[in-house]
Structure 1
């Protein structure tokens, strides 16, 4: 009777570890989606910066705000795009660090699941 209780405890432990592993994997998937989004935004903003660099000082630059195009100073537009690139780059680094941490946790949880499985078998 005690061996069946011990087996049930091991099974509960295994289920708990498997659920933790599934949560970590879900977090990793979310972080990869976020990384993809930021990578696309970074590419778009770098392209805008290249286009702004091609313009002459007196060129007209417009910013789309809702349904309206608003005239903007070239230097201000350039500064805004550079600041956006800095922000997106920082977010990419943060997401990369999160992915790295979660992958480490995932590996340790996988090992814990394997250990629990070997105890049951």
Structure 2
């Protein structure tokens, strides 16, 4: 019986670890989504600009002039990177959810076998 409880404890700890990993991954995805929205807003502002208007980039406490094409390509590159990271994290989230379901099934199986073994142990 102690063996079953030890196995249940180990499975429970593994399940808790998977839950924590899932929560951290979801938080990372949310941060990336916020960054994506910020960069989309910047991209929209670029579209509103007229030819010849100056773009400044904040570097530390200083505003420096920046070429429009450079600024637009930087934002486009960020958006591509963010989209790839979001896609990667979504895949990871699905994997973690699958592992959690599998672990949950294992826990239920051990609990069921423990309940089945309980009456037999009493009879013996």
TM class by shorter chain equals over 0.9
Matched residue, 2:4: 10
Structure 2 unaligned spans of 5+? 116-124
Structure 2 distance, partners of 1:53, 1:17, is 54
Deviation at 1:57, TM superposition (A): 2.8
Aligned-partner Cα distance in 2 for 1:37–1:53:
25
**Residue 73 of structure 1 corresponds to which residue in structure 2?**
67
Q: Is 1:86 equivalent to 2:80 in the alignment?
A: yes
What's the offset of the Cα at 1:45? Answer: 0.2
When normalised by structure 2's length, the TM-score is 0.90
Report the aligned-residue RMSD.
0.7
TM-score, with normalisation over the residues of structure 1? 0.92
Q: How many residues align?
A: 115
Structure 1 segments (4+ residues) deviating >3 Å:
none
Structure 1 segments unaligned to the other structure (5+ residues): 1-6
1:47 pairs with 2:27? no
Residue deviations 1:63-105, cap 9 Å, x none? 1111111110011000000000001111100110110000000
